[in-house]
Chains A and B, each alone.
Chain A
């Protein structure tokens, strides 16, 4: 394969993975950065290891936004999400919901077990 063809493939892969390339506008990067705060508990790009806390990748945007707004207003019960949703503006919640809706659902990347002991 010629390098140019390969780079085109890479660009396609970048788009498929939902990542912004060099020509990306600020907005997708902004949404990605905001959503990345959620990855700590929900897994990278919302692909959760073991499914708890739940996976968010590829879920419907309107549904995710409604759930988060429910947490924020207190109409939806939670152990912790009601406290976190209150920390974000509606615009931020929308950007986060949009990011996860655009992320590809799939197997999570778990940390590898150690091959050696310390």
Chain B
């Protein structure tokens, strides 16, 4: 790209300031370093975007296996028929136009000694700093009946937004009125603490409108509703009274795909549509890279930099991390991890001091029907004594009640976090 001075000024005026800055990369001085990001979810996309926004002279390559970004937040509304999958599906060209090199491929190996990532295509990417934001992968080994791909395609998780979200919606649409939807929730910590209970509301909203004789059985491994309990119970005992049978302490033993039943320790629960969210841990590449440090599932990190405690030069973000105390696995947190990490990576590459007092916030909305939502929020400040982020006592909380005002805020939240990660 070549500009005359006049063209440059015109272009700069026409763009936002941010876009003009991004355009400087590769045109001025030499690169200040090479950052490779594995994964284009909320964590990886945000980190890629912010390294480029805040330090245009750093080269950023983001490796993502999917063509498009499908948002888990709001995806339960697709199940309820309250929005369409197209409304939560976005492209990566915003990142490309900011100067992020978006590579559609899959990272299959990390060589931290040689500082390079090997891709499924056989290519290698050298890095000075690596950011791994792999999300989650399911542990199907613990559920014998779901080991085959065929079984996994019949009993869905729909816990990664995308084709499974659409497929589960189709199963619900095909179910007879008077049918039973059986939904299994894994033991905490899992991705999105209020997500299961929002899903129950969305399916109930659909049944109430389209299949009023139908029932929902919730088989929760946890001893109680994990998040926004009072608010969800208000919906379940109010507008959805009589539709939801909530069974805590329901530990999954297996799934009988042929007999369409979820097997618990002392019981077997039959349904017309089964939805099982298997236990999960950090995405597979984290395991390969030696980043998993806790319960064979999660990656321990230094919360000042998001750098792995196990592998130097490698940072981990999002749901794959061993959560700091009171920190949920959420899109909101992954987005905020991305910014802590971007700022730290820039400082480390430039030999500057890393910000020693990060403070981040979690904000998650849940919809009880097509219009009304409620929030949970928490603020996490770095505690120098404990050397981790801790929730601020007396701050944060939940809505008094779900409301349409918060429903509008929830959509605003979604559009802004999508823009903040991908715009």
Contacts and interface: CB of A to CB of B under 8 A. Distances in A.
B17 interface: yes
13 contacts: A1-B4, A29-B347, A30-B357, A33-B343, A41-B412, A41-B417, A49-B418, A53-B416, A79-B403, A110-B419, A113-B90, A114-B67, A118-B162
Given A33-B339, A87-B395, A112 B94 contact: yes
A118 B56 CA distance: 31
Interface string A40-66: 111111011111110000000000000
Contacts of A113: 89-91
A87 B359 contact: yes
B21 A14 contact: yes
Given A29-B355, A40-B361, A52-B412, A112 B28 contact: no
B419 A10 contact: no
Nearest to A5: B5
Contact of A111 (B4, B399, B418): B418
A118 B163 contact: yes
Contact of B28 (A3, A30, A104): A3
A72 to B, nearest CB: 9
B16 A106 contact: yes
Interface string B378-409: 11010000000000101111010001011011
Given A113-B89, A116-B67, A118-B67, 5 more contacts: A36-B343, A51-B412, A80-B399, A86-B395, A118-B68
Interface residues of A, number: 60
Nearest to B346: A29
Interface in B322-356: 332, 335-336, 339-340, 343, 347, 350, 353, 355
B343 A29 contact: yes
A52 B90 contact: no
Interface string A82-102: 011111100010000000000
B358 interface: yes
Interface of B: 3-5, 8-9, 12, 16-21, 24, 27-29, 50, 53-54, 56, 66-70, 86, 89-91, 93-94, 162-163, 332, 335-336, 339-340, 343, 347, 350, 353, 355, 357-361, 363, 375, 377-379, 381, 392, 394-397, 399, 403, 405-406, 408-409, 411-413, 415-423
Contacts of A67: none
Nearest to A29: B355
A16 B16 CA distance: 10
A87 B416 contact: no
Across the A-B interface, the 8 shortest Cβ-Cβ residue pairs: A87-B379, A17-B17, A109-B423, A87-B395, A52-B412, A111-B418, A111-B422, A10-B24
Nearest to A39: B420
A28 B239 CA distance: 49
Contacts of B399: 79-80
A38 B360 CA distance: 8
Given A7-B29, A45-B18, A52-B412, A40 B363 contact: yes
Contact of A116 (B68, B335, B360, B421): B68
B16 A87 contact: no
B377 A84 contact: yes
Contacts of B339: 33, 36-37, 39
